[in-house]
């Protein structure tokens, strides 16, 4: 079952909306073909119907029109998603071909070659309705969409009036195209707008993630600059002074080099502290960060983590678990809710992260495939004798459980009052 539905579940929300919208409009071409393709054939067998040559011509016209609508709608959706340019030329070709087809059909009707009124009305109205909807996909402004529908309706009604079929028939054709084309065009315009909004939200989500990484890099760069900038300046000055004193043969140059050595060692120690602070994850900060990131991504995050007096090493490794699992929730599947729970007791601390909408998380996908994310967490937990359990909890749900032993926790720990933080 997973193999059959994986092509859908592995897609993001934006990809699902695009796939649904694209194939909906792709199916409109067969609908038009089925709707109009049988009309010439059904009328061709009647004594008052149309000839064989004209039947074939009308079938070719319906086939060409449906193929042209399919092509224009596909290119227009590509423009909506930002992958293609706006299909202006194809839209003009479609509008001109429809107007010319309406003119030919009305002329055949006036000349007596087409005597079946239902065939004529269907050809004029249905092709115009599909043309109006397809042209709307190529437009952005509502005013221009209204102009496209009105122009398509006039292109269908004017030939009826010009060839002398009467004002009532032309008004009926105009009203039919306006109502049918307006409804179909409204659905097309809304679908195109919705697809554009979802794509923009997806791009904003990716941009937020890149900005978060850039901000973290800037923070790390500022910390290194603050630590090393002053010390390197002092080292450069004292080294220059030691060189000048050594050239003069003065013994103070040795004292200056000893000072340089001390400052260099102090700089190494400070850099190690900065890097250690960057590499070690603070559990409380990671919980707050996970909640903020998931909320920003539209994923409801519930954090149930009492303030516990855990050892620094345990907090660091659990903070890494929160960081990695949060990344997996964002990157994999289509989660809507995520729950993070922290408990301590029976000589161990247990951190549970569970989310819905799970697809194939990093490191626990198909047999024989191991991702680096969860594998790295297992290595970190193994350093403190901890364990990691990761796997499906129920259909479309995934759970990660990290356990870290606390041999001295029950004797020396002093938990603060149980204070729950919950975000719906």
């024989």: which residue's tokens? 368
Name the CA dihedral angle for 417, 321, 310, 297, rounded to a multiple of 10 degrees.
Answer: -30
Nearest to 320 by CA among 274, 279, 363: 279
Q: How far apart are CA 155 and CA 223, in angstroms?
A: 69
- Phi–psi pair at 174, nearest 5 degrees: -60, -45
**Looking at the DSSP assignment, which residues form a beta bridge with residue 303?**
340
- For the segment 97-106, the average pLDDT, to the nearest whole number, is 90
Local structure of residue 281 (DSSP, 8 states): P
Q: How far apart are CA 263 and CA 261, in angstroms?
A: 6
- For the segment 156-178, the average pLDDT, to the nearest whole number, is 86
| Reported pTM | 0.57
Instruction: Write out pLDDT tens, residues 350-393.
Output: 999 998 877 544 434 333 344 457 787 888 788 888 999 988 88
CB atoms near residue 41 (< 10 Å): 14
Structure tokens at 415: 């938990």
Residue 412: predicted pLDDT: 40
Residue 275: its H or E element? helix 252-279
Whole-number percent of the chain with pLDDT over 70: 83
Instruction: Write out pLDDT tens, residues 273-310.
Output: 766 655 556 788 888 878 877 776 678 889 988 877 78
Q: How far is CA 93 from CA 69, 146, 409, in A?
A: 10, 19, 77
Instruction: Write out pLDDT tens, residues 117-147.
Output: 788 888 899 999 999 999 999 998 999 999 9
Compare 334 and 63 and report the one with higher pLDDT.
Answer: 63
Contacts of 293 (CB under 8 A, 6+ apart): 212, 326, 330
Burial class (CB in 10 A: 0-12, 13-18, 19+), 155: buried
HSE (CB half, 13 Å, CA atoms) of 254? 3
């Amino acid at each position: 079952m997973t193999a059959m539905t994986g092509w859908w579940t592995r897609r993001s929300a934006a990809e699902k909306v695009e796939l649904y919208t694209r194939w909906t409009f792709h199916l409109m071409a067969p609908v038009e073909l089925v709707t109009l393709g049988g009309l010439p054939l059904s009328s061709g067998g009647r004594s008052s119907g149309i000839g064989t040559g004209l039947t074939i011509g009308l079938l070719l016209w319906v086939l060409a029109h449906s193929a042209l609508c399919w092509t224009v709608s596909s290119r227009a959706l590509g423009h909506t998603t930002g992958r293609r340019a706006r299909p202006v030329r194809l839209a003009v070709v479609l509008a001109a071909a429809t107007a010319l087809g309406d003119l030919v059909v009305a002329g055949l009707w006036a000349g007596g070659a087409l005597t079946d009124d239902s065939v004529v009305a269907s050809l004029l109205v249905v092709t115009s309705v599909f043309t109006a909807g397809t042209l709307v996909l190529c437009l952005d402004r509502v005013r221009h969409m209204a102009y496209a529908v009105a122009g398509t309706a006039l292109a269908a009604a004017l030939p009826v009036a010009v060839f002398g079929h009467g004002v009532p028939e032309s008004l009926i054709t105009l009203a039919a195209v306006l109502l049918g084309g307006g409804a179909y065009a409204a659905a097309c315009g809304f679908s195109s707008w919705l697809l554009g909004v979802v794509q923009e939200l997806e791009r904003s989500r990716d941009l937020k993630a890149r900005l978060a990484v850039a901000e973290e890099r800037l923070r790390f760069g500022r910390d290194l600059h603050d630590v090393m900038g002053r010390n390197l300046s002092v080292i450069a000055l004292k080294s220059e002074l030691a060189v000048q004193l050594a050239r003069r043969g003065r013994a103070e140059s040795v004292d200056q080099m000893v000072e340089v050595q001390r400052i260099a060692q102090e700089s190494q120690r400070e850099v190690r502290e900065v890097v250690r602070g960057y590499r070690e994850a603070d559990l409380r900060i990671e919980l707050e960060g996970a909640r903020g990131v998931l909320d920003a991504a539209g994923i409801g995050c519930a954090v149930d983590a009492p303030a516990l007096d855990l050892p620094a090493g345990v907090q660091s490794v659990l903070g890494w678990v929160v960081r990695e699992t949060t990344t997996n929730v964002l990157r994999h599947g289509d989660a809507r809710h995520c729950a993070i729970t922290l408990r301590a007791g029976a000589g161990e601390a247990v951190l549970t992260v569970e989310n819905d909408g799970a697809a194939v998380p990093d490191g626990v996908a198909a047999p024989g495939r191991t991702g680096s994310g969860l594998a790295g967490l297992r290595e970190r937990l193994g350093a403190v004798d901890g364990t990691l359990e990761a796997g499906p909890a129920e259909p479309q749900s995934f759970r990660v459980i990290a356990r870290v032993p606390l041999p001295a926790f029950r004797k020396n720990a002093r938990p603060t009052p149980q204070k729950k933080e919950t975000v719906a």
